[in-house]
Amino acid sequence: MKKAAIALVVASVFGITACQQQETDPLKVEELKFENKEQEYAYAFGASVGTFVEQRLAEQKDVNVELDPALIIKGFTASIQGKSQFEMGEIQTLNSELDKVMKEAQLAKAQANVAKGKEWLVENAKNENVVQTESGLQYEVLTAGEGDKPSAQDTVKVHYRGTLLDGREFDSSYSRGEPAVFPLHRVIAGWTEGVQLMSEGAKYKFFIPSELAYGERATGIITPNSTLIFEVELLEIMNKGESN
């Protein structure tokens, strides 16, 4: 089973078959038909590896560190056959160097994000529809609701879409096809403050400075000190009045 699984991972994910030794396009994607569960397991295993790599590449690209996907695939393909051109010690050294490059790039990006976010929010505050709170949170009422307002201890059901200042979406309950449910005091500070301003049925747009969002943490394509934009619909206040 192990040999079959490895062979299918290579064949299905990277376009290289066990019986073909000639060069193929390592980035070609094919629609496959699976004959049994072992093949599905193998493809899913390869897909999980690919998803991890895709996320890392996105993080690197956001700080202007770009690695060639074709070379990544070649390294993977060689390594699972025990034919890597680098010894393990060399691999560890190179990965440590990459980590150092990434940290330096993220630090530079974080410093740039602080200045960019502050400048952007100053301009955004000039919009007559935008209100800024004492904390620095900005919001715009898209649809006014008529229901109750939640407290920080309430659990809420919401639909939302989160984007960076350049418009790229990093998270969306709409894309997942179902609302999110969570205790309001267990999310980022900008959400905890902002959603309490809303009545059930309302839709707001929040402009959240980095200190009220993820701060210096990076997650996915969100780089350190990023100012974030969220469109939020408050669908329902759940367990109102209960401590969560």
- Pick the catalytic residue from 43, 154, 230, 237: 230
Two tokens at 121? 């929010």
Question: Is 171 an active-site residue?
Answer: yes
**How many CA within 13 A on the CB side of residue 169?**
9
Q: One of 160, 204, 206, 207 is an active-site residue; which one?
A: 160
Is 166 labeled as catalytic in the residue annotation? no
Known catalytic membership, residue 80: no
Collapse the DSSP code of 100 into the 3-class scheme (helix H, G, I; strand E, B; otherwise coil) and give the result: helix
User: Which residues fall within 8 angstroms of residue 149, CB to CB, at 6 or more apart?
Assistant: 196, 197, 198, 199, 200, 237
Kindly name the residue from 214, 222, 229, 237 that is annotated as catalytic: 214
25 in active site: no
DSSP labels, 29-58: -------SHHHHHHHHHHHHHHHHHHHHHH
Q: What is the dihedral of CA 118, 119, 123, 125, to 10 degrees?
A: 10
Q: Are 175 and 165 in contact (CB under 8 A)?
A: no
Q: Which of 45, 80, 148, 170 is catalytic?
A: 170
160 is catalytic: yes
Instruction: Give catalytic status of residue 188 as yes or no.
Output: yes
148, 171, 182, 221: which one is catalytic? 171
Helix and strand totals (H; E) in the chain: 6, 7
Is residue 119 packed enough to be buried (19+ CB in 10 Å), middle (13-18) or exposed (0-12)? exposed
Give the residue numbers annotated as catalytic, written as ranges: 160, 170-171, 188, 214, 230
